[in-house]
Structures are given as structure tokens and as C-alpha cells.
Structure 1
């Protein structure tokens, strides 16, 4: 009688790696999903654009017209003599969006609300 012996080597199937390929339709879907939040934000800002407008009711804006020879310091001292002049100057620069402390004759300055009478 004969004996048949089988080897102990185990054969495994080769591992096949696949690469993900996106079709044109897949790329379009991903682009749409990524850009959707941006589109929603833009639409909501466009529709809400008029929500932050100021009302023109009974709001009184105090202004000061600069005369020749006046400085920002003298204007600040005139509109709020009881307050710190340096603080008033800083508020005038901020409210009027001034790039420097130089004033021109005839220039109109908006007086900050806390110093308006």
C-alpha cells in the first residue's frame, strides 16, 4: 500500500489592492456637498442684508464744525469739559474714523453719544 503525503505549505491568494476612482458625476456630487454650506451662508446673508440698518426715527446726531486754528484737543475740551480730554479725543478719533489728529477748517465731526447733550 502506498501513502500519499501532502506538503504543509499553505497557499494564499494574492492580495489585490484597488484604487478609488471618482467618476465625473462623483466629483460633481462631492463638490456640491462641500460648497453647500457656503452657498447657504451667502443666501442667508443676502436675504438678511437689510436687517442691520439703522432706523431714521427720532435719533439726533450731534456734530461739531471745525473752525480755523482748532485742534482735536481743543474740540474735545469744548464738547466735554467734565470728562478726561484724552478719552474724548480717543472717542472722537474712533467715532469719526480719523486716520490722524489733523483737522481741516470746515470739517464736520460727529460727537460721540455719551458727550452729546
Structure 2
């Protein structure tokens, strides 16, 4: 230990040859070039601007439709009128079309059928024999 004192020997580190060669071979990384500014293509503009505009238009149209829909039948109970109806029993072979033509021959049968379906809460336009239906008379 003639050349190195005891205090220097404590601070001395041993480095392997592979670590030393890797440190010497490592060159500083060149600086990366800054990215060019973002450019939107035609398709990109459509996606970025067009699709949100379509969603906004659909939202506005549904909101306008919701606000303009008739929400109530009358302003007060005095303005309500009962629909005059007759109770009819469906016979075998009868259809809603035949019942509508018999009850209101002056009206379009499609309108009368729509009224019958609404009055009786029918899910389909079919009836079965023996079924009781409320049919509008006017």
C-alpha cells in the first residue's frame, strides 16, 4: 500500500471491464427535432367539427320536439269532454275494419280503428270473438 493511502483505498470503487467499456461506448444522444405543427386533413376536420355538430343538431331537434309536444288534453277539467262510446261484443269472423265501417260509415275506417285501439288499449289490431270493445259513436 505504498502508493495508495488507507483513506483513498476506502473510497476506491471497483468497476468491471464491461461496465467501463459500456460507459466509454455510450455517446450522448442527439437532440430530437421538435415535432412539426399538427395539420388536420379534410377527414380530420369532418371528425373534429362535423360529428359534434350532428350530435348537437340531433339534441336540439329532440329538445324542440319534446317542448312542442302536446302534454295535456285541456287547461282545466271543464275543458275535458267525454268521448261518446258504445260497448260492442265481437262476433266470430268480425274484424276491427268491419266494426269501424258499421259504427261510423261516414268516417274513414282507419281513423275509427285508431280510436278503438286507443280506447281499449289494444296492443295489436286483432280481436277475438266474445271480446268487449268500447267503440266511439261520433
Q: TM-score, normalised by structure 1?
A: 0.44
Of structures 1 and 2, the one scoring higher in RCO (CA 8 A, sep 6+) is: 1
